[in-house]
Amino acid sequence: MQKLNLPPSDFKLKSEEGNQFIFDIVRKKYLVLTPEEWVRQHFIHLMVNHLAYPKSLIKVETGLAYFKSAKRSDIMLCNREGGNFLLVECKAADVKIDRKALNQVSVYNKELKARYVALTNGMVHFIWEYRSDENKYYQLKEFPKFV
């Protein structure tokens, strides 16, 4: 898999019947290793090992319904009260982060109402703070501290 612009991690990988799998430390199971999963797992390790976000408050690929359409958020970090703190949308490294990707994550956040939203393809990363009282997003230079 492609080298990403994220800290390296010690991933558990295995091969079975010609397929590669990667262990998800949140869901505690092996998943088919796709380019998007490679980015998602790197980002989960960044959150847990480098940003000190509590692993117990991370949800991965949880469903949401929006306009009668079933969608999945890639990564959600909840706050200690159970509310949505940080929504992360992951793309494969070869997928450009553009207006379409930004629109997708903002549509998801209309339903999820996370305070922070991040978008990454493993090479470039963007983070915004959503201020619901203004209904506006403000781009940040670094990831928020979890308190």
pTM: 0.89
Q: Which CATH number fits domain 13-140: 3.90.1570, 1.10.760, 1.10.10, 3.60.21?
A: 3.90.1570
Q: Is 116 left (phi over 0), alpha (psi -120 to 50) or beta?
A: beta
Residue 108: its pLDDT value, please? Answer: 86
> What does the alpha-carbon distance between residue 77 and residue 123 come to, in Å, rounded to a whole number?
21
Where are the domains positioned within the chain? 13-140
CA distance 26 to 54: 10
Give SS3 for 102.
helix
H or E element that contains 107: helix 99-112
For the stretch 57-110, pLDDT in tens is: 999 987 654 445 556 778 999 999 989 999 999 999 999 998 888 888 888 898
pLDDT of 42 reads 97
Higher pLDDT among residues 47 and 65, named by residue:
47
Query: 107 φ, ψ to 5°?
Result: -65, -45
The reported pLDDT for the residue numbered 39 is: 97
pLDDT for residue 136:
92
Tokens of 107: 């549509």
